[in-house]
Amino acid sequence: MCGIVGFTNRTDCAEKIIEEMMDAIKHRGPDSEGKYVDSGIAMGFRRLSIIDLSTGSQPLFNENKNLVLTFNGEIYNYQSLRQELIAEGHVFTTNTDSEVLLHGYEQWGKDMLPKLRGMFAFVIWDTEKQELFGARDFFGIKPLYYADMGGTFMYGSEIKSFLHHPDFKKVLNETALENYLTFQYSPCEETFFKGVYKLLPAHWFTYRGGKLETGRYWSINFDADEKPDLDEWVKRISDVFKDSVEAHKIADVEVGSFLSSGVDSSYVAAVANVGKTFTVGFGEDEKYNEIGYAKEFSRFIGKENISKVITPEEYWSNFPNIQYHMDEPLADPAAIALYFVCKLASERVKVVLSGEGADEIFGGYNIYKEPDDVAAYNLIPRPIRRCIGKMAEKLPAHRGLNFLIRRGKDLEERFIGNAYIFSEKERKALLKIKTDAPDAKEITKPFYDRVADKDNVTKMQYLDLNMWMTGDILLKADKMSMANSLELRVPFLDKKVMAVAERIPKRYRVTKENTKFAMRKAALAACPPLTANKKKLGFPVPIRVWLKEDEYYTRVRKMFESERSKRFFNTEKLVELLDRHREGKYDNSRKIWTVYTFLVWHEVYFG
């Protein structure tokens, strides 16, 4: 795992600039560094040594030195691709997976991308064409940002590296703020920094002569195969997942595994057969502490569990540093817990396996049961349901009304992903600033349009795979692991696993009994029934409890009443949210945390 940075060169101090940019992401690769600078490009690289420890440094060159590569990630099928390329006459000088990208691009061009199996963000400079080519992996596990400012095109694994380039203009994208208040993450291509964009998952780009071109090379395609029975689907899941885990264990260093009380990480840990598992929790309440379960499960599989209890003060005091590493504000409280479990693991291993992605591809979130749970209510004609919902919206908040409001809306109106923090009306009332932020439905519509003929559960999964997973789940996985110089691998997010998952009928994904139904059956072969059948919990964090305590209530209120806050928000509304939560009238913890996160992030980057 590594970090990459670079820019088109039109300055006489490129060496100094690229070194400063590389230093900004040293945490991504503390083992070594490398750079390449010519009259057209400056490329920088920071390395965390995982495969081919002695000769795997970058930048890498092809035989005649006309192609230069910097690469972040892992190619798990590099050995078979290497043999195929050698048979075509290519000469390799290292044993690293990185070199496959160079010769693969020589041989196949863009057509190389669908052949890869792994997680990656890379760029290749063609010295003859004076052209940059880059790409991001299938699911967006590895990040890649770019900006075109002052005639300079710059790219990198993290936005913070751009701050060191003299052509970079640091301007807050206020439209991103308004979108974020609804989604709890930045949902669009343009980031919180105006003019800085994310290369989307499964996309490539070329940049030549001031012209940027992008394109997509792979898509998820849910197409249920109704013929195989449940037992056959369980076997297929078991076989493909074991194969993926073995591929994800390829390394020349020790590999560990994260472990919570859920089936995803437990399934990974059991199948992976690694030596160490890592767990964190809060206090002694089992609602917020899964350490006891993790230790018991680790004994079940005969492995060592290493754990840590996170104190409230550790959580809050590390929060500004965590937002620095995140690049953009992310209001998922679990991100901080993930930071600590990464820190714990990094003290003993360089690589960990984790369970991200299982919920999205196999249908694991509890909300996916909603379409079936309300099937009876949906027998009421749609116009009547919509009328009831609109009437309920006008009534004072009361238990049960939200059901009527939601049932009065079509799925495309009510579901934007696993977080829906502030409605458009609420965020407009909260903000002082005026932006041209689109309605949430405008952002989700392109994804819904692609699966318009699918059932509601599949639509929800597809939206989460393309938005929530990339914008929240994988963002925090990459940034929190790399903040601690740790490589995090996600064997569920493998294109071969996805090829099986997208064919599973809806009735084997989500049932009235449970979510991830077929996958849980597969996990039974490696995990005890209590684990395989355990209800989806998430990463529990006691934010709602802490916000009622004097110390943390006061800390948040001070930030809400600050001059910084007054620039963006009607602060009396913020304080009202906080006070009502403290009084127990409403659980406003997620709304409070979303605003507080932005203000802390803004203080870090614009303070």
CA distance 568 to 43: 37
| Cβ atoms of 341 and 258 closer than 8 Å | yes
Q: Which residue has the tokens 């005649």?
A: 64
CA 594 to chain CA centroid, nearest Å:
17
Task: Write the CB contacts of 557 (distance below 8 Å, at least 6 apart in sequence).
Answer: 575, 578
What single DSSP character describes residue 284? Answer: S
CA distance 204 to 218: 10
Per the omega criterion (within 30 degrees of 0), is the bond before 59 cis? yes
Q: Which tokens in the block code for residue 486?
A: 């740790």
Q: Quick one: three-class SS letters along 414-433?
A: HCCCCCCCCCHHHHHHHECC
Report the candidate in 74, 86, 77 with the shortest Cα–Cα distance to residue 119: 74
Reduced to 3 states (helix: H, G, I; strand: E, B; else coil), residue 458 is: helix
Report the candidate in 483, 547, 539, 548 with the shortest Cα–Cα distance to residue 281: 539
Output the DSSP codes for 528-582: -HHHHTPPP------HHHHTTSHHHHHHHHHHHTSHHHHHHB-HHHHHHHHHHHH
CA distance 299 to 273: 12
Whether 2 is catalytic = yes
| Cβ atoms of 429 and 572 closer than 8 Å | no
Q: Which tokens in the block code for residue 98?
A: 């990185």
| Cβ atoms of 68 and 124 closer than 8 Å | yes
Reduced to 3 states (helix: H, G, I; strand: E, B; else coil), residue 395 is: coil
Residue type, 276: K
Task: Write the CB contacts of 232 (distance below 8 Å, at least 6 apart in sequence).
Answer: none
Report the candidate in 203, 337, 359 with the shortest Cα–Cα distance to residue 283: 337
Residue type, 128: E
Which residue of the set 2, 188, 342, 527 is catalytic?
2
CA distance 511 to 368: 9
Give catalytic residue positions: 2
